Each structure stands twice: as C-alpha cells, then as structure tokens.
Amino acid sequence: MFVLVAGPPGSGKSSLAVPLATELGLALLAKDEIKEALMGVLGPPASGEESRRLGRAAVMSMLALARSTPRSRWI
C-alpha cells in the first residue's frame, strides 16, 4: 500500500507525510530528499526551468522506487 500526499508548494505535505507514514507503518519516499541527493551530485539548478526538470526527475525516481519496493513495511 502506498499513500500519496500531494498539494501546492508550502501546503504542509512534508509535515503531514512523516507522522502519517509512521502511524501507518509505511515507507516514506520523499521527493525533496531525492531532489537534494540529485543536487548533491549534479549541483544546484541554474534556472527555474532546470529546477522544474530536476523536480520531475525526482518524481520519476520516486515512482520507480515505489514500483520496485517489496510489499514489506519499512520506514
């Protein structure tokens, strides 16, 4: 089971996702964490378009991880 927390920037998605994952005993795959890791390797985006592209790459990485994650419960 996966729960997707979505909403506009600054709406509290991350603040909700952490306790929700803990309460439900589910893995937490966070786009911001993946984006930070990508920036650690690739460097910060130089423009708004590069930032959006990096965000899309982070989302696609997160979805690929979710698809390949075994059905076990981990945090």
Contact yes or no for 35/55 (Cβ under 8 A): yes
Does residue 55 or residue 67 have the better pLDDT? 55
**pLDDT for residue 75:** 47
Q: Where are the domains of the chain?
A: 13-68
Count of CB atoms within 10 A of residue 31's CB? 19
**Looking at the predicted structure, is the pLDDT value of residue 58 above 90?**
yes
pLDDT at 71: 65
Tell me what pLDDT residue 12 has. 93
The model's pLDDT over 1-49, given as tens digits with 9 standing for 90+, comes to 778 888 898 899 989 999 999 999 888 888 889 999 999 999 999 999 9
Kindly tell me the number of DSSP H helices and DSSP E strands found in the chain: 3, 0
For residues 47-55, average pLDDT: 95
* Cα–Cα nearest to 53, from 33, 67, 68, 39: 39
